[in-house]
Every structure is written in structure tokens, then in C-alpha cells.
Amino acid sequence: MAKQKVAMLTAGGLAPCLSSAVGGLIERYSDVAPDIELIAYRSGYQGVLLGDSITITADMREKAPLLHRYGGSPIGNSRVKLTNAADCVKRGLVKEGENPLRVAAERLANDGVNILHTIGGDDTNTTAADLAAYLAANGYNLTVVGLPKTVDNDVVPIRQSLGAWTAAEVGAHFFDNVSNEQTAAPRTLIIHEVMGRHCGWLTAATARAYLQRTKSYEYVDGLMTNAKMKSIDAVYLPEMAFDLDAEAARLKDVMDRTGHATVFVSEGACLDAIVEEREAAGETIKRDAFGHVKIDTINVGGWFQKQFAGLISAERSLVQKSGYFARSAPANGDDLRLIQSMTDLAVESALNKVSGVTGHDEAQNGKLRTIEFPRIKGGKAFDISTTWFGEVMDTIGQKYPAA
């Protein structure tokens, strides 16, 4: 039997699972197939195209458990779309006229890779699907098994993506400190912008985690640090309808009664309307290799700040973004357990030559399995009829009609 060789890569944005998932794959292969050679491509698909890889040594295998302690990616990320040849040429990853899929496939073949693990979100795994399809059509013998990483928790049909639970918990910790800014000046409006391009799950889950974190706090009666100051007054998600006048009137009442207002907003809330407004004004909106609006150039939180500050007579307003703080954290206990279950399955599937993406399949009653690549899509919407979200909004006292 030919000697097997496994490669892994992480790609897309960071999430609190990448380091642990890499460590988990190294540990699992070392346990069940210790003779298999392991490599990691540096900086995602960029490393594949450039032939830039790291050999996983015996010392790395021995110390792999340390990777569960850290955030970020120990092998580096990038955003590269193998079917966007023009972008790959522009970035110097392939030569003019070359097909990046072919270059990647030939690199894997020349490196002797039999199994490829891709750890990333919908873009990473749909890119993996493109690669797998190209390999199959051209006779390359390679098994590709992805693991679903995204703080947005927006991969179809996967119930829970790696890192999302941690991002919510860490985002709540972030805002627990920021909320104290309400005492810095009278009539302060604080907007907490949370990651989530098309899906409001993370914003909703961060709000829930924050309310759970602060509900048991004790305060000194009669002083300004109190339950109301630490509360949330509004949550806005892409899946919700937004009535500026009605919400401004409601928040103006909150501001008049309490002297402060706190808003949680998804970075994708009202995004299409904001982009349309800017493009109508003649502005060119930047997009990435996948055609997504570069959301950090839009500043959705700033748009809400601009709309609300005057309407609610705020004397001070600020936008605080938890995104990078949350996504770069190490995995929490819940995610560590989820990561282990998925890395174990990923290794089992790979050794059995079953390609796909590991995850709890919502179309099969949440069964943990390796899901077929053609079924993997991004942009899964958050179901705002979910019971726990209704409880969050009842606590806040906000109506939340669907968009």
C-alpha cells in the first residue's frame, strides 16, 4: 500500500477554533495512524499555490495539545478563491493564463498528498468543493474533508460551526467592560457592533451571553452603576425589519428616563441599504476575492450612530467593535468538545476516503456526519423565532418583526 500523506490548511477570517482544530487533527492522526506524514500549508490556499508548507515534526506532534490554549491559527490564514483567476494573478499567486485550480491540484499531487483537511467557513469549504470537483474530474486521487469554522454560525446545513459559541462568550466579556463607559458622561449612546455579515446569530448569542453574565451582579443601591446601566436597550439583526423613526422614539424615551442607551447591532444589519445609499452617492464599494463587500470599510455601527445620536439627543455616542477581540480568542470548553468530535470524525472520514464537511446535519435531525460538498452553502439566516431569542428580546422589551 502506498504511503499516505495528510495536508491541512486554515483559511478565511479567524475564529476561536483554528488553533485547537489543527492541534486536534495532529493529535488524532498521531493516535490512530502515527506513520502517516503530516504537513500544513502556510496561510491557507495561498500556501498551496506557492508550495509553501510546514512539515509536522515529532516534536510538534508531542506538543500539539498546547495548541488548544491559543487563538489565531498556528499555520496562518488568507482569503484566496481558486476560481477567481484574475485575483490570484493580481496577488502573484499564479501566472497569467494559469488555472489556479489546476495549479493547486498539481501542487497537491506533486507533494504526494492523499488527504486534505480544510478548516474554514463557507468560502473555504466551497473552495474546497471546487477543488475536490476539479480533482475528481481530472483523475487526481485525493480525499478532502473540511471542518466548519465561522463565528457567524451561518453555514448550511450545519447546526453549529466551530468557534461561534466562544465568540459569543468573549464578545459578552468585551462588552461587560465597555458598558461601564455609560458612567463617563451624561446621555451616552453606546453601540456594540458584532460580527455577522448576513446572519444575526452571533449578535443574538452575544446579547444572550451578556445578559446571562450580568444577571447575577449585585449593586450598591442609590448609585449609578446598576442593573439598568448594565442592560441592553436594542438589538438589530439582518433578519429583522428596521423602523428608524419608531426605534428612535423608543430609545429617546429610554435616554430621557435613564440617561443612557445601549444598542447591539450586527455588522450586517441594514448593510444592503447602506451600500445602496453610498453607491447612489457615487462611492465605489470595495469587495474581496469572493465578491463580498469589505464590511470593515462600511462601518455599520457608525451608520446607526449617525442615525440615532441626534434623534435621541445623545450628548456622547461611541461605537465599539468586539469582532477582532472575540474571533482571536482561544476556544472555550463547549467549543473544545465540539472541535474534538469533529476532528475525530474528520480523521475517520478521511481514512475511509469519504469527502465532505463534518457537522451536525440539520436535514438529518442534527446527526454528526460528513456532509456532501454540494450541500455546503454560506449565508444561512438566523431564525428569529427561536425560543431563546424571544426570551432575550422580551428581557430587552423590544418588538422584532422579521425583515
Considering the chain, what is the average pLDDT of its residues?
95
Assess whether 127 and 215 both reside in one domain: no
pLDDT above 90 as % of the chain: 84
Residue type, 200: G
CATH number of the domain residue 154 falls in: 3.40.50.450
Cβ atoms of 78 and 44 within 8 Å: the answer is: yes
Assess whether 178 and 241 both reside in one domain: yes
Assess whether 255 and 318 both reside in one domain: yes
Element (H, E) at 124: helix 122-137
pLDDT above 70 as % of the chain: 100
- Which residues define the annotated binding site for Mg(2+)? 122
Cell of 1: 500500500
Element (H, E) at 54: strand 53-55
pLDDT exceeds 90 at position 122: no
**Has residue 378 been placed in a domain?**
no
Between 123-132, 138-147, 368-377, the lowest mean confidence (pLDDT) is in: 123-132
Average pLDDT over residues 35-64: 98
Between 18-22, 147-151, 294-298, the lowest mean confidence (pLDDT) is in: 294-298
Assess whether 11 and 102 both reside in one domain: yes
**Has residue 307 been placed in a domain?**
yes
Cell of 304: 446607526
Q: How confident is the model at residue 2 (pLDDT cuts 50, 70, 90)?
A: low
Assess whether 265 and 288 both reside in one domain: yes
Assess whether 246 and 352 both reside in one domain: no
CA distance 261 to 232: 8
What's the Cα-to-Cα distance from 232 to each of 7, 21, 283, 301, 393, rounded to whole Å? 45, 34, 34, 15, 10
**Has residue 149 been placed in a domain?**
yes
- Which residues define the annotated binding site for substrate? 150-152, 195-197, 267, 324-327
pLDDT exceeds 70 at position 167: yes
Q: Which residues contact 367 (CB under 8 A, 6 or more apart)?
A: 360, 361
Cβ atoms within 10 Å of 269's Cβ, excluding its own? 26
pLDDT of residue 221: 97
Which residue has 474546497 as its cell numbers? Answer: 128
Burial of residue 283 (CB within 10 Å: 0-12, 13-18, 19+) is exposed
CA distance 152 to 13: 11
Burial of residue 316 (CB within 10 Å: 0-12, 13-18, 19+) is middle
Q: What does the pLDDT look like over 56-90, one tens digit per residue? A: 999 999 999 999 999 999 999 999 999 999 999 99
Average pLDDT over residues 377-388: 96
Assess whether 98 and 25 both reside in one domain: yes
pLDDT of residue 202: 99
Assess whether 169 and 98 both reside in one domain: no
pLDDT exceeds 70 at position 1: no
Q: How confident is the model at residue 276 (pLDDT cuts 50, 70, 90)?
A: confident
**Has residue 224 been placed in a domain?**
yes
Average pLDDT over residues 95-101: 96
Among residues 292, 284, 295, the alpha carbon closest in space to that of 193 is found at 295
CA distance 132 to 137: 9
Which residue has 499516505 as its cell numbers? Answer: 4
pLDDT of residue 360: 99
User: Distance from CA of residue 362 to its chain's centroid?
Assistant: 19
- Which residues define the annotated binding site for diphosphate? 13
CA distance 117 to 144: 6
**Has residue 73 been placed in a domain?**
yes
Assess whether 99 and 241 both reside in one domain: no
Residues marked active site are found at 152
pLDDT of residue 155: 95
Q: For the whole prediction, is pTM greater than 0.85?
A: yes
User: If you write DSSP's letter for every residue of 151-194 in order, what string do you get?
Assistant: TT---BTBSS-BTHHHHHHHHHHHHHHHGGGGGSSSSEEEEEEE
pLDDT exceeds 90 at position 126: no
**Has residue 376 been placed in a domain?**
no
pLDDT of residue 295: 80
Q: Tabulate helix, strand, coil % of the chain (nearest 5).
A: 45, 15, 40
Between 38-47, 64-73, 111-120, 273-282, the lowest mean confidence (pLDDT) is in: 273-282
- Better-scored residue on pLDDT, 136 or 45: 45
CATH number of the domain residue 272 falls in: 3.40.50.460
What's the Cα-to-Cα distance from 19 to each of 7, 47, 163, 324, 371, rounded to whole Å? 15, 17, 11, 16, 23
CA distance 231 to 248: 18
Average pLDDT over residues 164-192: 99
Angle at 49 between CA 131 and CA 118, to 5 degrees: 50
**Has residue 111 been placed in a domain?**
yes
Question: Number of folded domains in the chain?
Answer: 2
**Has residue 377 been placed in a domain?**
no
Structural domain range at position 200 = 165-326+384-396
pLDDT exceeds 90 at position 123: no
Assess whether 169 and 157 both reside in one domain: no
Assess whether 174 and 315 both reside in one domain: yes
pLDDT of residue 141: 84
- Which residues define the annotated binding site? 13, 122, 150-152, 195-197, 267, 324-327
Angle at 340 between CA 336 and CA 344, to 5 degrees: 170
Q: What does the pLDDT look like over 281-335, one tens digit per residue? A: 888 888 887 777 888 788 899 999 999 999 999 999 999 999 999 999 999 999 9
pLDDT exceeds 90 at position 279: no
Cell of 280: 447612489
Between 9-18, 122-131, 215-224, the lowest mean confidence (pLDDT) is in: 122-131
Q: Which residues contact 41 (CB under 8 A, 6 or more apart)?
A: 7, 8, 9, 47, 48, 52, 53, 54, 75
Assess whether 243 and 365 both reside in one domain: no
Average pLDDT over residues 273-279: 83
Average pLDDT over residues 236-255: 97
